Amino acid sequence: MKRVRLLGEWIKGKYGRGVLTGLLTFLCLLALTYVSESRGLADGFGKGIAPVLLAGFIAWLLLYFGRLRDKRLKVISGIGGILLAFSHVYGNYLHYVNDLFVSPAVTVQQLFAVAGVGLFTVPLFALLMEGLQKAALWWQARQGTGTGPARHLFLKYWMGIFACYIPVFLCYWPVNFVYDAKYQLQEVVHNAYKIHHPILHTLAMGIPYKIGSRLGSVSVGISFYTLMQMLVLSAALAYALCYLYHRGAPRGIRVAAFLISALFPMNSLFAISATKDVLFAAFFLALMVLLLELCYHQEPLTWKKALWLTAAGSLMILFRRNALYALAVSVPFLVWAIRGKKRKLALFGLLAGAIVLSTAVNGGLLKLVHATNDDSIREAMSVPLQQLARTAAYRREDLDSADPAYYQEMLSYWGEGFASQYNPYLSDPIKNSVNETLLKSNMVNFFKLWGKVGLAFPGEYIESFLSGTMGYWYMGDTAHYMAVGDGIAVYHTLIGTEKEIVKHNLFPPVGWLFDPIFFHVNYNRVPILGFLFRSSTYFWMLAVFVLNQIYRRRWRSLLVISLAVIYYGSCFLGPFAALRYVYCVAVCWPLLAALCFQRDSGGPSADPGQPQGIPKQP
């Protein structure tokens, strides 16, 4: 015991800290080198001055972390840093080796790698958390400068953002025709509507298309849809900017938020892209602002806010089905966040009313256009279907050894050769080839098969789920669905009908910049920009926010943001990872920033006084 005590005292000394820091730095570099070997980068990692600079930065981080006296900050940073280390190590293995459970020895090596990478990510998280605290103090020292009445503020923000989208719209006039737009407009052309896609969005594109057809140009017609979408998205962003103003955000923050809303290419490209996710994101953002005002800031629940809340919630659901489940699950948390029994009942009624209203409107529209029910249960079964297919593709011999009947039963759902279609990152080939009729009529037996195979091969099930969701949490995401996650691109998909939409470049300067970067997703090669176009960036944005609020004991803000967290989690059950699915979270960054920087009612960043413009934490 005496030797241990002496060793501890020596480590606390100047030379002991230096030796320990050097050893931990070496272990961290060793772990990073080990992980890089899985992607064929080991030779380049050890050359040049970059490793030396990295070693110096890691050593500085370790010394910085050792000097911290805030135990809660260390614990929170430990949670975030280890999660980030796990995502880096296992994401690399899944993406480049496509196998996590190679052997017990490899599993031990992976865990050591997580610990080694954690020596870098944990103090990095602590540095980020402390930076947010200092930013909060800076915000609080300058808050209140934007409070008070501002004449036509919303209109100024709205028209300013919309004007910045006009050059991109002219360059890709009349629309960036992408994703499912082709199939939705084919339904309009053939007057054969289906319920697979949100019917309101199909009609939102179809009506302008038909108007254009009568005018003699479907391209002119569809441009009306694009302009409408630009107006709605810019209005939602303007509403969020007004929230920042009325919460007393410093002028520099508001200017930066406006520039990002107006000029960040993701917003301008999505604004002109024919996908339901844009209008969904707009109404999602509007609903989040309303919920923050009512549940976090405890503003009065007026009739005007009640109507806007119901409308935003209903329209959000009408443009994306899984938003209904996310809202339904988050209702108890939102009701818990608001004060007063009457206000709780009123909010519950409004949110329930939004769900009921959206269901009624959707049903009425489906009857109006006589839409056929092609709703496929296999869409909701993407995860279990992928898990069975992965087991059949990679463990066929072991599957037969466990029980030959397993594979034969799988063949009854798919047919011979189905396993060769398995793609770890995209479930479409597997789910689209399954026998839908048999799956519906034999659901109990299917889940029995799924359960038995899962008990025999749990590792394959874990790898299947993590591979399919990798684009949402792995920072090495290449942002293309055939690899990891689907990004955003500029291209034109033909409808395949007599009256075809034809693009015209009416403003070539935008194309000179955007085409090389976004046509084939080349933005991944641009430093920083590539990360901003990855779904995983917004997963970690949410993670940092949640950890920051836990550290500061801001429970009410966590209750309000539960809608965004639950929705993001629901995307993990989808067919593949796509940026457009979580674009609604990406546009919420001003709200998350405002909550991170707001004054506490107590805690690490609290300071005397209460500047006008931001109420204390309810």
Residue ranges of the chain whose pLDDT lies below 50: 4, 41-44, 481-482, 601-618
What is the rounded CA–CA span in Å between residue 212 and residue 499?
A: 10
The answer to whether 218 touches 255, Cβ cutoff 8 Å, is no
Q: Containing H/E element for 486?
A: strand 485-486
Tokens of 544: 């940092």
What is the rounded CA–CA span in Å between residue 618 and residue 602?
A: 11
**Which one-letter amino acid corresponds to residue 296?**
Y
What is the rounded CA–CA span in Å between residue 537 and residue 156?
A: 30
Task: Name the H helices within 247-340.
Answer: 251-263, 265-271, 276-291, 303-319, 322-337
The answer to whether 107 touches 89, Cβ cutoff 8 Å, is no
Task: Name the H helices within 172-302.
Answer: 181-190, 199-215, 218-246, 251-263, 265-271, 276-291
The answer to whether 563 touches 585, Cβ cutoff 8 Å, is no
Q: How many C-beta atoms lie closer than 10 Å to residue 455's C-beta?
A: 10
Residue-range domain boundaries for the chain: 2-142
Identify the three-state secondary structure at position 361.
Answer: helix
Burial of 270 (0-12, 13-18, 19+ CB in 10 A): buried
Q: Containing H/E element for 108?
A: helix 104-142
Length of the chain: 618
Query: How many C-alpha atoms does 515 have within 13 Å on its Cβ side?
Result: 10
What is the rounded CA–CA span in Å between residue 175 and residue 184?
A: 14
**Which one-letter amino acid corresponds to residue 302?**
T
pTM (predicted TM-score): 0.91
Tokens of 238: 């303007």
**What separation in angstroms does the CA of 287 have from each of 152, 244, 311, 557, 561?**
21, 15, 9, 15, 11
What is the rounded CA–CA span in Å between residue 565 and residue 552?
A: 18
pLDDT given at position 342: 94
The answer to whether 369 touches 199, Cβ cutoff 8 Å, is yes
Tokens of 493: 């998909």
pLDDT given at position 144: 65
Tokens of 69: 């006296």
Tokens of 142: 């300058």
Buried residues in 301-315 as b, exposed as e (16+ CB within 10 A): beeeebebbbbbbbb
pLDDT given at position 608: 31
Nearest alpha carbon to residue 232 among 292, 317, 312: 312
Strands 577-578 and 485-486: parallel
The answer to whether 93 touches 99, Cβ cutoff 8 Å, is yes
Segments of 530-605 assigned E as strands = 577-578
Tokens of 498: 């007599």
**What separation in angstroms does the CA of 539 have from each of 245, 254, 402, 582?**
26, 24, 38, 9
Residue written as token pair 């605290």: 133
What is the rounded CA–CA span in Å between residue 490 and residue 514?
A: 8
pLDDT given at position 615: 34
Q: What is the DSSP letter of 295?
A: I
Burial of 575 (0-12, 13-18, 19+ CB in 10 A): buried
The residues with which 176 forms a beta bridge, in sequence order, are 273
CA 567 from centroid of its chain's CA atoms = 9
CA 496 from centroid of its chain's CA atoms = 32
